[in-house]
Amino acid sequence: MLADALPSWHQSLKAAKLSVEGAAISGKSAVTLHGLPGFGQGAPEITVAPEVSVRNRLARVHRWDRAVTTTVDRIRVVTAEQAAFDIAGRVPHRRLEAVLDAGLVGGQIRLDRMRDRFDVLRHGGPRGIVAVRALLAERDDGYVPPESELERALRRALAGAPIPPVEWQAALPWRPGGRHRVDGLIEDWRLILEADGRRWHTRLRDLERDLARDQQTVSHGYRVARFTWSHVTTAPAEVAATVVAAGRWRLSAA
């Protein structure tokens, strides 16, 4: 059959790796090869030594002399930790955070190895190093802000954004007399804003409770947008854009 003759994604990765001596699969391709979410089977990316001069029709080429490699499915590839650094600065904060958390849960990424990579790479100032630093701090025993400071950071991120008025520390719309509060409510968009200051391990433990609360929110016709400390402080423009996009989605769906 014709489908059987078409090259598989793994075959395209192998061909790309073999096209340059010493190359390793990297970037978004490496994220997917390690079984982490977010990018799918896109065009191959490889990392080669800085002195290599090559035009490659099979892959997007990156040059770097400090990559750490391993083998997955008999394909030479940068480690999952290195892949996270590869995409930092190239993707939105939430996608980087999702890759890191999925790797920590699934075992492909270890915090000690991420910290080792950070120590090696931070002096070169690669793109995304600030975001990685904040994400690592949240997932260890780093600084966790008081709720008031976190809320102030969220308010600063949304200052000047083209959004309707936000009611801060609002009661649940479907339970106005109750004691539970949400960080922010945009009633015009039926959108709830939550700034999450818990450490990553605590958030992971509370995941089922958060999901149940979000499902309750949806059942009452609202949506919820959650932001972490690192997201609010390192990517405020992205936070504002996410809120605006959520509101536009609401208006288009109405």
Per-residue pLDDT tens digits for 137-194: 888 866 667 778 889 999 999 999 999 999 998 999 988 877 788 999 999 999 999 9
Do 6 and 114 fall within a single domain? yes
Q: What is the mean pLDDT of the chain?
A: 89
Identify whether residues 130 and 157 lie together within a single domain.
Answer: no
Pairing of strands 181-186, 60-63: unpaired
Q: Are residues 89 and 162 in the same domain?
A: no
Of 77, 106, 138, which residue is a domain's last?
138
d(CA 212, CA 221): 15
Contact 25, 75 (CB under 8 A): yes
Domain residues for 112?
2-138
Neighbours of 20 (CB within 10 A): 18
Considering the domain architecture, whether residues 63 and 127 belong to the same structural domain is answered as yes
* pLDDT in the model for residue 31: 97
Mean pLDDT of 189-200: 90
Whether residue 74 is found in the same domain as residue 107? yes
Helix (H) or strand (E) segment spanning residue 202: helix 200-205
Same domain? 97 vs 17: yes
Domain end residue (candidates: 73, 106, 138) = 138
Is the pLDDT confidence value at 254 over 60? Answer: no
In the prediction, which pLDDT does 249 show? 80
Among 116, 138, 160, residue at a domain's last position: 138
- The rounded distance, in Å, linking the Cα atoms of 233 and 239 is 9
Q: Distances in Å between the alpha carbon of 91 and those of 38, 88, 127, 171, 235?
A: 10, 6, 10, 34, 11
Q: Between 208 and 7, name the one with better pLDDT.
A: 208
- Determine the pLDDT at residue 5: 44
Tell whether 121 and 10 lie within a shared domain. yes
Domains identified in the chain, total number: 2
Quote the pLDDT of residue 53: 75
pLDDT at 6 over 60: no
Q: Could you tell me if 103 and 222 lie in one domain?
A: no
State whether 37 and 108 are in the same domain.
yes
- Residue 223 belongs to domain with CATH number: 3.40.960.10
Q: What does each C-alpha distance from 201 to 38, 138, 146, 165 come to in angstroms?
A: 22, 9, 17, 33
Q: Examine the domain organization and report whether 189 and 63 are in the same domain.
A: no
Residues 120 and 159 occupy one common structural domain? no
Do 164 and 103 lie in a common domain? no
